[in-house]
Amino acid sequence: MTDDTIKILQQIKNGNGFTLTKDSDDEICDLITRLNGLEIIEKRGKSYFINYSKISLLTQLIKYKDYGKFINWLENKKENQNKSKYFNIFIILLPILISIFALIFGDDLYTKYLKDWFTKEIPKKTLIQKKDIKLLLKQEYIPYVGTKELIDKGLFISQDYANLIVGGANIEDIEISAINDRGEKISVEINDEKNLSMDIFSRPYIEIKYKENYYKIEVYTVDKASTFNFDLTQLSKATLSLKKYNHLK
């Protein structure tokens, strides 16, 4: 892809609309059509805008700078998802299949063939340790109007002028701490609506404890755009000193 095409994709990713004209070159015309077909972008009026639910796919396309490589990556991703789906189905059906064989062949099936398989020691290298948990759950934009569900329906995230808002019905159940993009601690305050508020332009890094699980929220912009985005990642433990809601100001 040309540098001009990549710049246009960055503009779309940042929330700006793009309109095809008779002067648009063939590469961008073809690419916009393909992305619209994949529902990565969507047409509103005469312009094309990012479909925020698939912003991660556009990020990958910009990263590869090549539509063919991007499609290969996307197909491999779908193939791996399908393999995982079929494996999960197999795991669900396995106890049923074992029960059917047991009914047909009797207890000898378990005694002769399955006992050793089920009772053998699992190699330590195959065990998943909780300390290794680091799972990206969401990568979305922060709405300036309205709210967006954060971890579940009990928590939301939004922007109110220069403030990042974290709130919801379960906001009093969390523990939280935040630092700015320079690693300096920033103030987390309770506003008039009983939600938590902090300076969004400091691009805060936030850690919270919620329902016995730990999460981090990273707030950022892309290419100095006015739209703020966030990544939500599950952690095994907090790296910041967290405060309970009722200990905040």
Cβ distance 28 to 4 under 8 Å? yes
Quick one: pLDDT band at residue 77, thresholds 50, 70, 90? confident
Q: Is residue 47 part of a domain?
A: yes
Q: pTM score > 0.95 for this model?
A: no
- Name which of 47-51, 79-83, 109-113, 164-168 the model is least confident about: 109-113
Q: What pLDDT, on the 0 to 100 scale, is given for residue 38?
A: 85
Q: Which of 65, 81, 99 finishes a domain?
A: 65
Burial class (CB in 10 A: 0-12, 13-18, 19+), 204: buried
Q: Is residue 228 part of a domain?
A: yes
Q: Is residue 126 part of a domain?
A: no
Q: pLDDT tens digits, residue range 2-59?
A: 998 999 999 999 989 999 888 888 888 888 988 988 889 998 888 899 988 889 888 9
Q: What pLDDT, on the 0 to 100 scale, is given for residue 89?
A: 76
- 147 and 232 belong to one structural domain: yes
Q: Which of 50, 65, 80 finishes a domain?
A: 65
Q: What are residue 16's phi and psi, to 5 degrees?
A: -85, 145
Question: What mean pLDDT, rounded, does the chain reach?
Answer: 82
What are the C-alpha distances in Å from 26 to residues 31, 47, 168, 177, 184? Answer: 8, 17, 47, 49, 48
Distance, CA of 22 to CA of 50 (rounded, Å): 22
Q: Is residue 181 part of a domain?
A: yes
Report the domain count for the chain: 3
Contact residues for 88 (Cβ-Cβ < 8 A; gap 6+): none
Q: pLDDT tens digits, residue range 94-107?
A: 777 766 766 665 55
Distance, CA of 111 to CA of 156 (rounded, Å): 53
Q: What pLDDT, on the 0 to 100 scale, is given for residue 26?
A: 85
Q: pLDDT tens digits, residue range 144-195?
A: 878 999 999 999 999 988 899 999 999 999 999 999 988 899 999 999 999 9
- 216 and 151 belong to one structural domain: yes
Nearest to 75 by CA among 63, 93, 57, 59: 57
Contact residues for 46 (Cβ-Cβ < 8 A; gap 6+): 19
Q: Is the pLDDT of residue 215 over 90?
A: yes
DSSP letter assigned to residue 39? T
Determine the structural domain holding residue 106 and report its residue range. Answer: 70-120
Q: pLDDT tens digits, residue range 226-249?
A: 678 899 999 999 999 999 999 987
Q: What pLDDT, on the 0 to 100 scale, is given for residue 122?
A: 46
